Structure 1
Amino acid sequence: MKVILSNGLSLRRVTWFALAVGCGLLMAQAQVADVRRDATVTAVERAMPSVVNIATTTVVDNTDPAFRWRAEFFGYRVRPQLAEVPSSVGSGVIIDETGYVLTNEHVVKGANRIWVKLMDGREIEAERVAGTRKTDVALLKMKTKEGDKFTPMRFAADDDLLLGETVITLGNPFGLGGSVSKGILSSKSRRPANEDSALDVADWLQTDAAINPGNSGGPLINVRGELIGLNVAVYREGHGIGFAIPIKRVNEALSRYFTP
């Protein structure tokens, strides 16, 4: 039986109208929510699982100097009082599913132990496989369990760079954990501020995305979530000037002992 309302509309017609309005509202809400998920957010979501925090420790001699002097004066041998202390924090990039990690050499140089913290909270000890001061690129290998798999970051093609394109830094600034900053690619061939630098990099990438202590070794990515550089330094005498080693130079440094 067809039900007719007092205003002449059928119940079926009213029901369909209500459903249409409800669906329209749901679609509108979904569209509003999606507005936030722009290219930057998508790139971060794609890249963040490959970003790690790095902490190192070194062994120091804590023997009291006065005690050492007195003991040596009277001809006694002194056994060093060794202690393991935190020495640096930085960032890194997983580049292979078996647990290889890319970072800066200065982050892990002289470290007695290296710890890698993943974005899911796991902490895994790692060892330095290779690295050079000249390029400031180091390769680590996490001490994984059999069957462990990790999410590697995709590399951009060498020289696939556009001046003014949006770039994103990911890392561990000041040891505070995972952080994101966005800027543009300001220069593709910036020389280090100190021409006497031991670093053999004549074409650093320059960006105004924030690169702070602890970001060293972290990734500089494009809006496709691809690695275009390795964060290395910030220019202390100017605001908004950070530098990264271009992926081309990173590949050259890695080519001797690893192919991602």
Structure 2
Amino acid sequence: MTASSPTSAHRARRRFGQHFLKDRDVVDEVITTIAPCPGQTFVEIGPGLGALTEPLLDAGVNLQVIEIDRDLVTMMKRRAEEHDRLTVHNADALVFDLRSIKPVNDNLRVVGNLPYNISTPLIFHLLRFRDSITDMHFMLQNEVVDRLVADAGDRAYGRLSVMTQLYCVPEKMFEVGPRAFSPPPKVDSAVIRMTPREQPAAEVYDLQVFEALVKTAFSMRRKTLRNSLRRLVDQPQWERAGIDPSRRAETLHVVEFAALSNEVSGI
């Protein structure tokens, strides 16, 4: 099988955010970017009509697919009868426990053409299993990819950038136009590689405090940090962290958010 065909009997369901990859050249570029090797264990989230599934199996990997659409699961299970390296899970990826999958060799490699309506919460969910993951390659809305890779000071820099970069090194690989999908989305897409760090970018004493600071700071990003975080941070804590509270959230690097949250934690 090659890329998904728009003539497939299965109709894309809006509630699942389905846009099936159909462009053979794009599929080839994605597979080349992923560079699968025989014997590796892959998890594919939302395999859809199998545009990436078959090339991955052809590469000799052990493939576990997670699909919420029961009709597509039925199609995938028929393929699994012909592939002893393919396992199908009818499940919601937002709550699926990746620790239930035991890789044959090394850690898991995760791939997927993710539904754009759940991409951010799904990434946050997957970060919980970062110690079990070698890398992640996703097709996402281009705007989301730009937010993931943004540096402090960039307009796209925000909560998603900080929380992701604390644990991963994100790399934008290439952009993909709407015509590569059926039905075509109304936005451009891009492929991103996310590689979990061996150690977080900064030491965080209390993750809940860190998350609260980051979320609150960016919820009022036009305000100075003194105003947006006035209920969470006092003047001595600003001074000990070495951060000027007249700055705005988008100017703080991950390590600075960590230093501030550690002062607030008081550990």
Structure with more strand by fraction: 1
TM over 0.5: no
TM-score bucket (shorter structure): under 0.3
Larger radius of gyration: 1
User: What TM-score, normalized by structure 1, do the two folds share?
Assistant: 0.21
Structure with more helix by fraction: 2
Higher relative contact order (CA 8 A, sep 6+): 1
